[in-house]
Structure 1
Amino acid sequence: MRTFTKSLRNALYRPWSLAILATLLSASLLLALSVPIAMHQVQMREREQMSVHGERLLERLEQLFNQLRKGLDDLNNQPLRDCGPLMIDQLQQVSFQYRFIYEAIFYDGSQICSNWPARLSLTPSPGREPDIKGPVYRYWLTSPNEPDDNLAGLMLGRGDFEVTTSRGHLSDAVDLPPDGSLLVVVDEGKRALPVLGQAQDWPPSAGWPPDDGEVVVTDYRMLYRLPTDSSDYQLVLSLPRAEAKAYLAELWWMLPGSLLIALCMGALVLHLARQRQSLGGELQGALRRGEFKVRYQPIVDLNTRQFVGAEALIRWRHADGTMTSPELFIPLAESTGQICQLTDFVLVRTLEQLGPVLRANPQLYVSINLSACDVMEPRIGKVVARLLAIHEVAASQIAFEVTERGMIDVEVARLKLQALRDKGHSILIDDFGTGYSSLAYLQTLPVDCLKIDKAFIDALGYDAASSGVAPHIIRMAHALNLKVIAEGIEHDYQVELLRSEGVVYGQGWLFEKPLNAHQFRERITGGRRLGPRRADDDV
């Protein structure tokens, strides 16, 4: 199982494997997102088209209804109330005057006459109750299934007169989209009568009634309630929803863009992976070429300003003199497993360069930064023990700094750090306050000293939210009998504030910038040479 996992990890770390995986994942994600986006766009387009159709339909229906109402009003305002030539002539004049009136009828319950002597239209039978009965007008709707366009599609009545518009006039006026239906909803929304198009199942499954001018979407159709002033009925336009081919057409346009973005993502991952692989190879080459240097950031007694130790820092200076930031190559070395080689390099170089001065000054120490890899594996104890024996340096003169984020498994880290501490090494928590440590957490770890992060030191003396963090950490450390080192000191007032809180040790550019081995030895010995000078001491 372990062999399979290792093989899989090695395969995935290859640039082309990562690029192909990134392309496939990007394509899958983009296509998965494209489906709801395409559906949303099609639905939005449907709604827009429905609104356009509805507004146009409403405008034409208003024209049609206005003509029918005006024709009825004209007939009711004239004095004739008897079927005869004059009445028929009056009915014909109204039908000629208003182009949407196909037939005008007089019916007083006993006699009936029309502008069409042959009575070609299909009008409601005498005595039939109107489908809609308003305070002024009555409305009759006829079946839309009749094939004859000359038959009446809609009839309005007032008093003893009725006017109708033919199916053909109604179709021309409304201009209904294909497979659409124009419905009149009555009985407080419980029944829908088709004026044009096919009858529809009613009421819809949900979301009815909507506000005027809003669209209701069902599984198969879209319903648009046209704004009207009448409370007796509602006019509803019903249109079929887009078919699957509409969604596929939308997806077809989105497919090239999704694939192009996925290919770009794959190319970017390939570039970054190759760059990372290249930088990883450069790390190995830099170790062979001796491009890594060790600098020493002095740790001073704040009361005497004397050096008590130093933090060993690794720097990468290329052959052309350019520098690569530790913030770039340290995480890379951790991810590629090369960090252990860098830690060993720092240990070897520190004892080679400062071995004589450490032997001559037993109170002096150098702290070495450990990564999570160093902390979790037992190798570091063996490495440092061998080097200390070679250079005859006491274990107490080599301290180890670990970050809170570097302790992946706290229980394992506690055991490993305790083993180092049992051999005489001091354990320092670096950048304290930026991780997840708490008082209970610290009590479980074998720690000798806390190093307060520069961000909290910078806030000292300012009215900032983080200005009280450093004093809190200091008091907590003192309660646990831990030493405190303040990092990043740059101003004298910071020294005074720290001293007032009981802090004894600090480091920062106020005292010294990171020094090479020659400079550091000179500060310690006052210029006296304790051993032969190395070629890279002052580089």
Structure 2
Amino acid sequence: MNVSWVNSFRDRATLIVSLLLLTLPLALYSYSIVVVVRADKLMQATDAANEAVYEAEILLDHINGALISLASLDDSSLDCNEPMLRQMHELSFELIGVEAFYLLGADGQLLCTDWLAAFSTFDASAPARSGIHFSPEVYIPEIGRTGVYVYRVNGRGQYIGSLVASAYFRQVLNQNIPVQDALAFYNRNFEQPVALTGLISSERLVAIRRALETPQETLFEADSQSRIITAHSLQYPRLVAVYLLKKQSVAEILAAHISELVMILLLSLLAMLGWFNFRHQKIHSYRFQLQLALRHSEFEPYFQPIVDMRTGEWLGVEILARWFRAGTSVASPDEFIGKAEKHGLLKALTRQVTTKSIALMEDIVERYPDFYFSINLSPNQMDQVTVDFVVGLLQQNEKIKPCNIRFEITEQGLAEVNKVKFRQTVEQLSAHGIYIGLDDFGAGQSGLEYFSNITPHFLKIDRRFVSAIPHPQSVDYQILKTIVQLAKMLNLTIVAEGIETEQHARWLIDQGIQKGQGWLYHKPMAEAELWAKLSAE
């Protein structure tokens, strides 16, 4: 086989699948990593916000309990009494994070506190309604740091409250939050956070404010680079935990999983190489190339004249197959015919070559009604499909008659076929008026076996025996003489092939053989040349 033409053929399927095997697993795995990581980050952020709300609720529960107990000690005749102050001291000591307790008048003036005597007024700015209230984070000069006011309103409109260090709220928020993220507590009534860990830009503070105004939603897009996750307290409706999640870019996520991606890439590369090797072997296999040739109709009919050796008249032609790709011969018939039969493609090959010859058949038999076309068949091609093909050919092309078609059956493969079906097929073809001959008679081991299955109309002597004519002492020469005698005894027409010299022709004519073919008369030729030769006569 002409390997250069095989290699030059561009197999797109191989290239496309190779690229898919190399890139698709990596792309899918990368996509899954990005999706899973982002979903996991979102879940972690949601869990962190919910956990923060839970911890804050516990803190507020303790403070609320302390404020209720202080309110129970309130003496309406006094703004502040000894039991209340003592209780304030005890509770400040017991509750972690609480700096001080205080009592404010309805006008906001400090009435009493367990803090320093020089402590000034507290700014509560709380609505006069029941329940616990808490302020945003504020700076308190007296203690030199920030804090949060948590308070209740008693029956006289006074404020019983506590000052909680902001550091304690931030401690509740400290859940190993990534440095690029932020977590905060908010009172929905205020724009500033109660406590914050991490950094939040002013633009994102605006986005957080919008999120707080939509309590029914819990997930918001802050901007192209971050998302907002909110968790609302059911026990304290004004308490909201806000998690600002920075979106990781695809590059950042994949960079963190580079070892896995390298492994996937290596596996993909191995898969691609395995596929490429498989396709390479398949493409270079005869079966694939024959299938490809049939698909692209690369087999062309060539014709070698069968002549009357006494007069030189062309009686017919044998249809031969030639394989061309891009104008160049791919392989010799001696090579690809056997391979086609081995791979079960000879029927398709014969049909393709014969079909391409039909138009020429019609033109020639219209001018030369007795001119015939001899078609080679192997024994396993002698089946009902062949009969149907021939019958259809005769019905669809009225110019072509049964006498214009002959079949030459080769010896190879006779042992493997069903003898009964083989004989029935031959009888059907003969009944349609088609001559059946034995091709390359004597070259194999099944020649004589044919006579027990069919009665042929003619024998074709293999070129091997014709080439032995100059060597009368050879075994092949003796076999040739025996074949000639057998044909005469059975009254069979003989067609000799492989005639290359005048000596071959004279000997055959002397033996009473009239028909022959070979390079002495003409080499196999393409359709155009055959038509030109016949038209010139």
2:141 matches 1:139 = no
SS at match of 2:80: coil
Q: Would you say the 8 A contact 2:430–2:436 is kept in 1?
A: no
**Cα gap change, 1:516 to 1:171, in 2 (>3 Å):** same
Q: Secondary structure at the match of 1:66?
A: helix
The number of residue pairs the alignment matches comes to 353
**Cα distance in 1, alignment partners of residues 356 and 141 from structure 2:** 93
> Is 1:260–2:165 an aligned residue pair?
no
Cα offset for 1:336?
Answer: 5.8
Q: Distance in 2 between matches of 1:111 and 1:134?
A: 19
Deviations 1:175-201 (A, max 9, x none): 2524413142525xx956352245542
Identify if the C-alpha distance between structure 1 residues 89 and 135 changes in structure 2 by more than 3 Å, giving closer, same or farther: closer
Matching of residue 220 in structure 1 with residue 262 in structure 2: no
User: CA–CA distance in 1 between the matches of 2:97 and 2:239?
Assistant: 21
1:45 Cα deviation from its structure 2 partner? 1.8
Aligned to 1:156: 151
Other structure's SS at 2:262 match = helix
Q: Secondary structure at the match of 1:48?
A: helix
Is 1:247 matched with 2:253? yes
Q: Is the 8 A contact 1:104 1:162 kept in 2?
A: yes
- CA deviations over 1:386-421 (Å, ceiling 9, x no partner): 79933489xx983568xxxxxxxxxxxxxxxx9x75
- In structure 1, C-alpha distance between the alignment counterparts of 2:53 and 2:400, rounded to whole Å: 92
For residues 296-340 of structure 1, give each alpha carbon's deviation from its aligned partner in whole angstroms, at most 9, with x where no partner exists.
xxxxxxxxxxxxxxxxxxxxxxxxxxxxxxxxx7x5443465566
Q: Call closer, same or farther: CA 1:339–1:259 in 2, change over 3 Å.
A: farther
Asked if 1:174 is matched to 2:156, the reply is no
How high is the TM-score relative to the length of structure 2? 0.51
AA aligned to 1:520 is T
Amino acid at match of 1:114: T
2:47 matched to 1:66? no
1:278 corresponds to which residue?
Answer: 284
Change in Cα spacing, 1:221 to 1:153, as seen in structure 2 (3 Å) is farther
Change in CA separation of 1:391 and 1:12 when aligned onto 2, cut-off 3 Å: closer
- 1:334 and 2:294 are equivalent in the alignment: yes
Corresponding residue of 1:44: 39
Partner Cα separation in structure 1 for residue 247 and residue 259 of structure 2: 17
Structure 2 residue 275 is the aligned partner of structure 1 residue 269: yes
2:500 match: none
- Quick check: 516-525 or 155-164, which moved more? 516-525
**Are residues 1:381 and 2:380 paired?**
no
Where structure 1 has 5 or more consecutive residues not aligned to the other structure, the ranges are 1-5, 285-328, 351-367, 402-417, 427-511
Q: Is the 8 A contact 2:229 2:242 kept in 1?
A: yes
Looking at structure 1, the residues matched to 279 and 103 of structure 2 have their Cα atoms a distance apart, in angstroms, of: 89
Q: CA deviation at 1:243?
A: 3.8
* Superposed counterparts of 1:410-429, under 5 Å: 421=397, 423=399
Q: 1:268: Cα distance to partner?
A: 3.5
- Match of residue 291 from structure 1: none
Matches within 5 A, 1:513-528: 517-522=422-427
Distance of 1:146 and 1:341 partners within structure 2:
107
Residues 209 and 380 (structure 1 numbering): CA distance in 2 closer, same or farther, change over 3 Å? farther
- C-alpha distance in 2 between matches for 1:136 and 1:207: 24
CA 1:21–1:133 in structure 2 vs 1: closer, same or farther (change >3 Å)?
farther
Q: 1:421 to 1:263 in 2, by over 3 A?
A: farther
Deviation at 1:369, TM superposition (A): 6.6
Partner of 1:94: 91
1 CA distance for matches of 2:350 and 2:299?
7
C-alpha separation in 1, matches of 2:141 and 2:423 = 108
Task: Name which of structure 1's ranges 149-158 and 197-206 shifts more when overlaid on structure 2.
Answer: 197-206
Tell me which of 194, 201, 207 is aligned to 2:205: 201
Q: Structure 1 residue 135: deviation in Å? A: 3.7
Going from structure 1 to structure 2, the CA distance change for 1:235 and 1:392 (only over 3 Å counts) comes to: closer
Deviations 1:76-108 (A, max 9, x none): 111344235544322112212322422111112
* Contact persistence 2:110–2:121 (CA under 8 A): no
Range 227-236 or range 169-178, more displaced: 227-236
Alignment of 1:351-366 (within 5 A): none
Tell me how far apart the structure 2 counterparts of residues 123 and 246 of structure 1 sit (CA, whole Å): 51
What residue identity is the alignment partner of 1:270? F
Q: Which of these residues, 60, 66, 71, is aligned with residue 76 of structure 1?
A: 71
Quick check: 1:238 aligned with 2:240? no
Counterpart of 2:329 in structure 1 is none
Aligned to 1:10: 8
8 A Cα contact 2:301 2:319, kept in partner = no
Aligned partners of 1:392, 1:8: CA distance in 2, in Å?
A: 31
In the alignment, the residues of structure 2 paired with residue 143 and residue 514 of structure 1 have an alpha-carbon distance, to the nearest angstrom, of: 107
Q: Is the 8 A contact 2:301 2:356 kept in 1?
A: no
Q: 1:65 to 1:533 in 2, by over 3 A?
A: same
Q: Is the 8 A contact 1:397 1:425 kept in 2?
A: no
Name the TM-score, length of structure 1 as normaliser.
Answer: 0.51
Deviations 1:419-475 (A, max 9, x none): x7575599xxxxxxxxxxxxxxxxxxxxxxxxxxxxxxxxxxxxxxxxxxxxxxxxx
The match for 1:184 is 186
Q: Which letter maps to 2:168?
A: H
More deviation, 57-66/28-37 = 28-37
Alignment partners' CA distance in 2, 1:249 and 1:173: 32
Distance 1:39 1:147, change over 3 A: farther
Distance, in Å, in 1 between the alignment partners of 2:239 and 2:358 is 84
Distance 1:147 1:256 in 2: 59
Rate the CA distance shift 1:114–1:39 in 2: closer, same or farther, 3 A. same
Give the direction of change, closer, same or farther, for the CA distance of 1:21–1:61 in structure 2 (3 Å limit).
same
* Aligned residue type for 2:164: T
Larger CA deviation: 379-388 vs 236-245: 379-388
1:390 lines up with 2:394 in the alignment: no
Displacement of 1:31: 4.6
What is the distance in 1 between the residues matched to 2:288 and 2:363?
26
State the Cα distance separating 1:22 from its structure 2 match: 4.4
Match of 1:113 in 2: 112
1:169 shift after superposition: 1.7
Task: State the AA in 1 paired with 2:152.
Answer: G
Change (3 A) 1:166 1:28: same
- The match for 1:129 is 125
Query: Could you say what secondary structure the match of 1:136 adopts?
Result: coil
Distance 1:162 1:211, change over 3 A: closer
Say if 1:19 and 1:270, in contact at 8 Å, map to a contact too.
Answer: yes
Identity of aligned residues (%): 12
Distance 2:22 2:209 in 1: 37
How well do the aligned residues superpose, as a CA RMSD in angstroms?
5.2
- Once residues 530 and 371 of structure 1 are traced to their aligned partners in structure 2, the CA distance between those partners, rounded to angstroms, is 18
Tell me, yes or no, if the aligned pair for 2:46 and 2:230 is still in contact at 8 Å.
no
SS across alignment from 2:59: helix
C-alpha contact (below 8 Å) 1:68/1:100 kept by paired residues? no
CA distance in 2, matches of 1:203, 1:77: 42
